[in-house]
Amino acid sequence: MLLFTHLCHGLLSWRKHPSPPPAAPAAEPDLFLTVEPMWWAAAAVLFAAVVLCNKHPEWRSVGSRLSVLWLFNYPAGGLPPPEIPKRKTFLEVSDISVERIHADKGGLGIPTSFLYWHWAMVLVYGGLFAAIFFATTPLGSAFPYLTLLHKLVVWFNAWESLGLGVIHGPLHGKMAPPFQDWWYRLTPGTMKYNAPFMAFLPMRRNHADVLVQAT
């Protein structure tokens, strides 16, 4: 009887206090997050370096030699603009342009070297991102798609901030130099555009703006 009482008590206690489920295996930490203090330290060093460089008289000519004007030495595939008589309406000019594009010996008239540069930069963009992603992201049994998305957004904004995105290159008229967007973002006194809800801020960059861009 005593044994039966202890057995019933044990069963009731087990029902009231069930054993906790096995803990899920701890996820491997993201290397990017584990070195976050290092990123902040590097950003602070970059900001200090930018402030010092801004005071140097040669700062305004930094990057001026990064020119792609040499692409004009390879004009194959390019065509001169079509001849458009004067006093033509917008629709008539559009018709002439469309006819030129669809002609057997027509086309957009963009030199092949310009297109090669454009698509080569796309490959560089994707290749560098893939290398950085796989070097800084531990891969488990499931592919980290959310981490891929997060890092792609950061990489895209960094690429554009350096002036290497859609705002550079011969297809956008940025020939000499095409990589100057970062210069404006890191130079106090340059003009900027504020969002409508931040109209109270000055329209020229100060050191706080440069700090934000550096981080």
Single-letter amino acid, residue 101: I
Contact 56, 186 (CB under 8 A): no
Residue 61's pLDDT is: 76
* CA dihedral over 154, 123, 63, 46, signed as positive or negative: positive
pTM of full prediction above 0.75: no
Q: Which two tokens stand for residue 210?
A: 């440069």
Distance CA 132, CA 128 (A): 6
Three-state DSSP at 204 gives strand
Q: Tell me how far CA of residue 6 lies from CA of 3, 12, 17, 56, 77, in angstroms.
A: 5, 10, 16, 86, 93
The CA distance from 211 to 205, in Å, is 10
Q: Which of 159, 132, 133, 130 is nearest to 147 (CA)?
A: 133
What is the per-residue pLDDT for 129? 94
Whole-number pLDDT of residue 59? 79
Query: At residue 10, does pLDDT exceed 50?
Result: no
